[in-house]
């Protein structure tokens, strides 16, 4: 039901304009699937393991930096404060946005289907890495400056900054793939 408008639009194009026009408009029509929100059951099934993964490896990184931290599931405990890696912090929303951006960048900058696929698939590790970076920086701030420094404005700003870093990594990868292909 959520995606019926996209199928309806594809059917209208196919019926009114034929197969040739449908081939030409397949990418823009298919891109409309990114506007369809994931069903909650799918979102929850993806967000839970993702937030556990982010919490686990962020804590591992914090420990390697010499910070005293403990993890139980998606709860990260510092000596002064406790943080929860919530569904919103799982990075799934930024992953979906970065995936849409990766598809657009791949089709605008890459000629080879293989390089397009590499760029699109790489959106997943980039999104996870940058989200882990956000949790790590939040943990460092919590350790050295207290919980107040890691919450509020910084938490909101970090989400935007991390997505900007993810976009820059994606664009840099696109440039490398274009140069590598020559």
Catalytic site residues? 89, 134
3-state percent helix, strand, coil for the chain, nearest multiple of 5 = 80, 5, 15
Which of 30-68 are b and which e, b meaning 16 or more Cβ less than 10 Å from the residue's Cβ? Answer: eeeeeeeeeeeeebeebbeebbebbbbbbbebbeeeebe
Q: Smallest Cα–Cα separation from 160: which of 134, 124, 122?
A: 134
C-alpha to C-alpha distance for 134 and 159, rounded to whole angstroms: 7
85-to-50, 53, 71, 91, 130 alpha-carbon distances in Å: 10, 10, 10, 10, 14
Pick the closest to residue 171 from 117, 114, 110, 129 (CA basis).
Answer: 110
Distance CA 69, CA 54 (A): 14
Neighbours of 164 (CB within 10 A): 11
């Amino acid at each position: 039901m959520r995606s019926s408008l996209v199928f309806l639009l594809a059917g209208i194009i196919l019926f009114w304009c034929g197969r040739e026009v449908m081939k030409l408009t397949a990418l823009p029509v298919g891109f409309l699937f990114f506007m369809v929100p994931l069903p909650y059951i799918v979102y929850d099934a993806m967000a839970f393991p993702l937030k556990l993964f982010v919490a686990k490896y962020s804590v591992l990184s914090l420990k390697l930096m010499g910070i005293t931290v403990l993890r139980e599931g998606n709860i990260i405990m510092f000596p002064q404060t406790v943080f929860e890696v919530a569904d919103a912090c799982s990075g799934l929303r930024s992953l979906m946005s970065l995936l849409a951006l990766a598809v657009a960048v791949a089709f605008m900058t890459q000629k080879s289907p293989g390089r397009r696929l590499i760029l699109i698939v790489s959106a997943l590790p980039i999104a996870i890495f940058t989200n882990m970076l956000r949790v790590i920086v939040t943990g460092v701030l919590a350790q050295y400056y207290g919980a107040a420094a890691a919450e509020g404005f910084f938490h909101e700003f970090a989400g935007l900054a991390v997505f900007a870093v993810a976009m820059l990594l994606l664009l840099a990868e696109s440039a490398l793939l274009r140069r590598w292909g020559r």
